């Protein structure tokens, strides 16, 4: 794990007390929730970029794509 930093959030006192009674590891819960949300947002960003790329590629004639792929393969060998 890399360098850690502290973050703060204000919550209702009642919620804090309920969490305490339930012996919830608040730091662990927050870390896990933030990690899951970041992953979800990253997946969504990639999905949107893929949609944009697909829309752009649809505008290119298939023959042009085939030609570009063949040329790139020739340069690899």
What are the tens digits of pLDDT across the range 49-66?
999 999 999 999 999 988
So what's the pLDDT on residue 40? 98
So what's the pLDDT on residue 76? 76
Q: Does residue 1 lie in a domain region?
A: no
What are the tens digits of pLDDT across the range 7-45?
999 999 999 999 999 999 999 999 999 999 999 999 999
In the 3-class helix/strand/coil scheme, how is 19-75 assigned residue by residue?
A: HHHCCCCHHHHHHHHHHHHHHHHHHHHHHHHHHHHHHHHHCCCHHHHHHHHHHHHHH
Q: Does residue 28 lie in a domain region?
A: yes
Q: Does residue 2 lie in a domain region?
A: no
**Total domains present in the chain:** 1
């Amino acid at each position: 794990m890399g360098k850690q930093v502290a973050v703060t959030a204000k919550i209702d006192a009642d919620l804090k007390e309920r969490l305490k009674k339930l012996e919830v590891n608040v730091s662990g819960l927050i870390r896990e929730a933030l990690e899951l949300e970041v992953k979800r947002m990253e997946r969504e960003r990639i999905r949107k970029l893929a949609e944009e790329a697909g829309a752009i590629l649809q505008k290119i004639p298939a023959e042009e794509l085939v030609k570009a792929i063949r040329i790139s393969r020739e340069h690899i060998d």
